[in-house]
Amino acid sequence: MLRQTASSYIDGEVVIPVKEKVYVRVIFHADYVHCIGADDQKALKNVICKVKALEVKENTEEKDASLFLRQSLAQGLAAHLHLNPSDIKIKREKEQGGLGPPCLYIGGKKSVIDISLSHDGRFVAYVFLI
């Protein structure tokens, strides 16, 4: 179970030679460090992110983490938009060479809302930008 301790963050930027800046927010917590990035500083200030701990099970598979993460995002986004979580779907389309990035569908229509999903070990995280 994730302890209810306060987290803090710092904002910064990464400069890549011959490229534009990437603005980052690094979130520090007693149990994890989470970093998000954006190509626009205003976007970084408007993102909504959440980190959750998985329930540790002996035979937990990666697909369980992925399902938990998608459900968590659907619930968080639905609460933010005052929608029913069942109206929200996350799909990855097949592309040449594998699967593409996750795309958000609301009420069966592809949304322009940017999302990011990640999971590692016992933690999952999602980010969205309205």
End-to-end CA distance of the chain: 29
Q: For residue 1, is it within any domain?
A: no
> Does 43 map to a domain?
yes
111 in Cβ contact with 117 (< 8 Å): no
Rounded to two decimals, what is the model's pTM? 0.79
Q: pLDDT tens across 53-80, in order? A: 987 665 555 568 889 999 999 999 999 9
> Is residue 3 included in any domain, yes or no?
no
The domain that holds 44 is classified in CATH as 3.90.470
pLDDT tens digits, one per residue of 2-21: 344 567 888 888 888 877 88
In a domain, residue 2? The reply is no
Centre a 10 Å sphere on the Cβ of residue 2 and count the other Cβ atoms it contains. Answer: 14
Extract the tokens encoding 37.
Answer: 């990035």
Give the domain range for residue 40: 8-129
| Number of compact structural domains in the chain | 1
